[in-house]
C-alpha cells in the first residue's frame, strides 16, 4: 500500500466516522425531542387521569348517598305500610308486624311474615288498600334483600331517624 492510498483510506475512514457521529448527534437530538414530548404528554395524561379518578371518587360518593336515600325510602315505606296493616282479627300477623317494626324478626319468622304478606296481597277478599300495603312491604323487603350493601348497620343515621320518628318503638293502640 502506498502513502496516497493510506491517506485516501484514512480520509475515507475519517469521513465515515464523521458521518456516523453526525447521524448519531441528529438521532440523539431527535430522541431527546421525542423524550421531552413524551414526558410532556405523560404529565398531561397524569393530570387527566388524576382528574378522572377524582371524578370517579365523587361519583362513587354520590352513588352511595343515592343508595342510602333509596334504602331509607324503602325502609320507611315498609315500616309505614306494615304499621297500617294492623288488624284486630289477625293477632299472629300483628305480632309479626310488631317484630318487623322493631327489626327483631328471625330468618324463620321473616319467611312466615312474607308468606302472610303474600296471602294478604293475593286475597281478593281483602280490601284493595290492604293488598296494596302488603305489596309495598314485600317490595321494600325485596329491595333490602336485593341491595344488602346499603343497610341500617352501614347507615347509622337511618337507625337514628327511625328511632326518632317512632318507627322502631313499639306502637300502642293497635
Segment 27-46, tens digit of pLDDT: 777 888 888 888 878 778 77
- Comparing 1 with 72, the larger pLDDT belongs to 72
Q: Is residue 174 part of a domain?
A: no
Nearest CA-CA partner of 77 in 143, 173, 4: 143
Round to whole Å and give the CA distance between 50 and 153: 32
Mean pLDDT for 158-162 is 47
76 within a domain of the structure (yes/no): yes
pLDDT at residue 75 tops 50: yes
Label residue 168 exposed, middle or buried (CB < 10 Å: 0-12, 13-18, 19+): middle
Residue 173 covered by a domain: no
Please give the residue range of the domain that contains residue 122.
3-165
From CA 95, how far away is CA 142, in angstroms rounded? Answer: 21
Confidence of residue 18 (pLDDT cuts 50, 70, 90): confident
Q: Is residue 58 part of a domain?
A: yes
Q: 170 lies in a domain?
A: no
Q: Is 73 inside any structural domain? A: yes
What cell does 18 get? 464523521
Answer left, alpha or beta for residue 170, where phi above 0 means left and psi between -120 and 50 means alpha. beta
For 62-82, what is the mean pLDDT?
Answer: 78
Give the Cα separation of 107 and 117 in Å (integer).
15
Any domain includes 171: no
Amino acid at each position: 500500500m502506498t502513502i496516497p492510498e493510506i491517506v485516501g483510506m484514512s480520509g475515507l475512514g475519517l469521513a465515515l466516522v464523521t458521518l456516523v457521529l453526525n447521524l448519531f448527534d441528529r438521532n440523539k437530538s431527535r430522541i431527546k425531542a421525542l423524550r421531552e414530548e413524551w414526558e410532556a404528554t405523560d404529565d398531561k395524561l397524569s393530570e387527566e387521569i388524576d382528574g378522572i379518578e377524582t371524578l370517579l371518587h365523587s361519583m362513587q360518593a354520590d352513588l352511595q348517598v343515592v343508595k342510602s336515600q333509596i334504602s331509607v325510602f324503602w325502609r320507611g315505606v315498609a315500616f309505614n305500610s306494615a304499621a297500617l296493616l294492623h288488624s284486630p282479627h289477625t293477632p299472629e300477623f300483628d305480632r309479626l308486624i310488631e317484630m318487623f317494626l322493631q327489626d327483631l324478626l328471625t330468618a324463620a319468622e321473616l319467611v312466615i311474615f312474607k308468606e302472610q304478606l303474600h296471602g294478604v296481597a293475593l286475597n281478593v277478599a281483602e280490601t284493595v288498600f290492604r293488598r296494596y300495603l302488603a305489596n309495598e312491604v314485600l317490595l321494600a323487603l325485596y329491595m333490602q334483600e336485593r341491595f344488602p350493601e346499603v343497610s341500617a348497620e352501614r347507615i347509622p343515621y337511618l337507625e337514628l331517624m327511625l328511632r326518632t320518628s317512632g318507627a322502631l318503638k313499639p306502637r300502642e293502640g293497635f
